[in-house]
A and B are shown apart, each in its own frame.
Chain A
Amino acid sequence: MNAIHLGPWDLLGAALLIVADAALSLALRLGVHRQVLVAALRMVLQLSLVGLVLRHVFATASPAMTAAVVLFMIGAAAREVATRPRQRLARHMNYRISAAVVACASVATVLLALGTAVRPDPWYAPRYAIPLMGIVLGSVLNAASIALDAVLDAVVRERARIEARLALGTPFREAVAPLVRSATRRGMLPVVNQMSAAGIITLPGIMTGQLIAGMEPMEAVKYQVLLMFLLAGASGLASVGAAVLAVRALSDDRQRLRLDRIAGTKP
């Protein structure tokens, strides 16, 4: 591959666009110039730090180091998923559900890719495992947080309807099934849109990166297709997992709707 290497001056040129954004904000009194500058600076620092860490991890190729980075990424994604929904479950259930869903969906998907399509040597090779985990976690984070938010909101909003069905002898699972289906659909929507738009409306980020890095277009396409399949699978698992675990947390052994398990809600 004939990658064109970027020097500091190349990046500085692009950074002028950030300065232009800030100037626009000042001129139009948008009030976001400080946020734009801080966010840009933060992004540069974060990515530089990640680059340094990855350089070290790739060089050592240590399984322990790889596992530590992956665990850190999963923890950060799970925290994001847990904090985004408007409703909070009592006893830190938002965090417990998020951690379970994010870990299972991302690890299962990445292991599948490493074991079948990519097959690096060793199988945990950080150069493959970490970027794959990163891109899968991005999708899982979106899907799980949307599904969790949607199902918790729906259960609170639809309390009377759910209990009306329970009161007539409907099993809990059946009474909440429409809500679980709807939340799962919403969680999967971003990745469905992403797949539909790929190649026509947008060139996906990974493929763009590989093309710029000099990869032959059809090779880049194959990688992108593989990734899209992984993202779709992980999003499906994360959406359904978040929705199902959330409604399970809101019921008990007598199949009651336990809204008292939402923090701040009266029973």
Chain B
Amino acid sequence: MSGDDPRFLERLRAGEPRAFEELVIACQHRVFGVALRMLGSRAEAEEVAQETFLRAHRALGAFRGEAKLSTWLHGIAARLCLNRLASGERRLRREDPEVLERVASAGGDPADELERSETQAALHRAIAELGEERRLVVLLRDVEGLSYEEIAEALGLELGTVRSRLHRARMDLKEKLERFLG
């Protein structure tokens, strides 16, 4: 899938099932990853990721293509995550950061994993302890690789707000990971 491919967008807008399938295949891991690290639960992350694609499927006909498809999807997923986190009905089933790490690094070399386990556990814990809005910005920037402008567009924020939140998040992480940074 190429998010900026006009023909692909046309197929999506026309409701072509195969095009939607390509979109899900291409973006599933990124959308799921953001949801997982925001919510801390694989089950909830899958629910949110699935809902993200279903909402996109319903709205594809009105998608104008002003943003990248991936940015658009990240924006939907981010709103769903924040809504769920703000909901009082949310079930408290966050998983241990080490579990998240194993999920994230599944398939890696076990020896390397053992060597990195302590740092990785501390990193996941530090990310999980960030405030929700800062966590979301740093994930979109440093894990998903979105630009400042894309983050601002996805989250509906001013560019300065994105920059500020991102810096605060990184500074928090530096403080929490001080002993692993030499």
**B is a partner of A:** no
